[in-house]
Structure 1
Amino acid sequence: MTDAELLLRHEDGVAIVTLNKPQRLNAWTVAMRDSLGQMLAQLGSDDSVKAIVMTGAGERAFCSGQDFNESQGFELTYDASEWVRQVKDFYEIIRGIEKPTVAALNGLAAGSGFQVALLMDYRIGHAGVAMGQPELNNGIPSVAGPWGIFAERIGIARSMDLILTGRLIDAEEAKHIGLLNEIVPPAEVLPRSIALARELGGKPPVALRLTKRAYRQATQPAFDRAFEIAEDAQREAFASGEPQRCMEEFFRIRAARKSA
């Protein structure tokens, strides 16, 4: 365990990482994301760890992405550019793990939480899982995730549907288009994820490592290019003030609902 926001336990060679901020739908701040990246890097280099499972605390969310309480304060163009570079570094850590990774989806996976779930090798969820990319609805250009991570998985037409509408898809649709591998009862999501991770972690390690490395190398050019474009897009968007205005409206509506 690193701190209260991240929990870590080991079970027969499988490391189980839990995002532990259920009151915020397991949304991460920069500090939480950096701590998670450090944890995953250490697990990736630990020979006693054969596979990694990531899940969220509570029953509502795996991860809802960036914590708006923090991103509302991004006012300078430097912040937006640096933010994109930090996200890329974090994603590179996950892409660089040369052992099996499984996302145990216990609820919502949205924004960067959705993207991280897709960076894992396998995704298991239940019928109540919702997944999506609502960035555009919040005034944030949706660039890095679609073109660096999931367009290659579901194609351009489906990617444009998700990023332009910002809609959340249910578990059945997610499974139908290949974003969710298995749907099991809620109580079985984590046990099934651990069992699968243990099974995959028992594969011949050299062949497994080289297979994952080959995938990373083959997809690296598109991944790098997506983040180059995203950095320019985010810098221009935040300079315009549009994301900040959308976030202010989000907080206004949320406050009105709480007071009603």
Structure 2
Amino acid sequence: MMGTDYENLAISLEESICLISIDREKKLNALNKATLNELHQAVTSALRDESISSIIITGKGSKAFVAGADISEFSNYNAEEGKELAAEAQTKVFDVIHHAGKPIIAVINGFALGGGFELALACHMRIASTSAKFGFPEVSLGLIPGYGGTQRLTQIVGRGLAFELILTGEMITAERAYSLGLVNYITSPEEAIDKAKEILEIIGSRSPQALAAAIKAVNASQQASGYEVEIDEFSKRFGTAEFREGVAAFIEKRKPNFKKKP
């Protein structure tokens, strides 16, 4: 994937961590169709690449993570075109990130508004710099969040707070986002990427198959069948080489040596 030329993304690798930066700084990293297509390509490539264990998604510059969707692209859409826009983006980008079998952390610097907020919510964890601002301004445009925001925000903060943020359209600070459980950590802008790498390095030492199973089970908690999925994924771990290695290492009081390939 390193050989792929992207117009709107910058990709770098540090050991087994893939850093995807949305690179439209002059447009505050707004999500146009081309950027969404490139995100699909970059994320799916990283998920297929056995040398990559995890992904960080961030935005270039200090002003914005992603300041929203590129409104100029859909300002004249009708209802059917709007439905296709939301369905395609959710299927190709936001749901792919949400259900990824490798951990994905959003590092939020500056504005995360509208589609940018939704992109952060789709990731498994979020780290915000002190300058981060979050919000769903869609109601001021006669819209609502369309990339899964109404669902993921409610799942994370609960119904009442989701109503407040979506219905007022007001922005909140990194500090309030942390108090609501929207972000895992707040750091200085200079330390945010390093904090994400620190977390992913710890995760990277764990069983890759177990990580994928855990992500699947946690995501299933939002479904009626969540408990059954947890039991199923838990039971599948028994008898695997990774399970045997993990238990042996525990008994032998050493670090486990998990192979990166399944």
Q: TM-score per shorter chain, which class?
A: 0.7 to 0.9
- Structure 1 CA distance, aligned partners of 2:15 and 2:145? 39
Structure 2 partner of 1:99: 102
Q: How much does 1:163 deviate?
A: 0.5
Shift of 1:87: 2.0
The reply to whether residue 9 of structure 1 matches residue 12 of structure 2 is yes
2-structure distance, mates of 1:4, 1:38: 12
1:7-156 matched pairs, under 5 angstroms: 7-74=10-77, 76-89=78-91, 90-142=93-145, 145-156=148-159
The residue number in structure 1 matching 2:189 is: 186
Unmatched runs of 5 consecutive residues or more in structure 2: 226-262
The structure with the largest helix share of the pair is: 1
Q: Is the CA contact 1:107–1:130 (under 8 Å) kept in the aligned structure 2?
A: yes
Contact 1:63 1:109 survives alignment (8 Å): yes
Equivalent pair of 1:65/1:110 in contact (CA under 8 Å):
yes
Residues 246-257 of structure 1 aligned to structure 2 (within 5 Å): none
Cα offset, 1:119, TM superposition:
1.4
- For normalisation by structure 1, the TM-score amounts to 0.80
- Aligned-pair distance for 1:201? 2.2
- The one-character-per-residue Cα deviations of 1:20-60 (angstroms, maximum 9, x if unpaired) are 00111100111210111121011112111011001100110
TM normalised by structure 2 equals 0.80
CA contact (8 A) 2:127 2:185 kept: yes
Pairs aligned (count): 221
Runs of 4+ with >4 A deviation: none
Identity of aligned residues (%): 28
1:61-81: CA deviation from partner (whole Å, max 9, x where unpaired) = 00012111212232x322111
Q: Distance in 1 between matches of 2:132 and 2:169?
A: 16
Amino acid at match of 1:179: L
Contact 2:54 2:102 in 1 (8 A): yes
The residue number in structure 1 matching 2:234 is none
- Any idea what SS the aligned residue of 2:158 has? helix
Q: Tell me the equivalent position of 1:243.
A: none
Deviation at 1:103, TM superposition (A): 0.8
Aligned partners of 2:66 and 2:123: how far apart in 1? 14
CA shift, 1:96, in A, is: 2.5
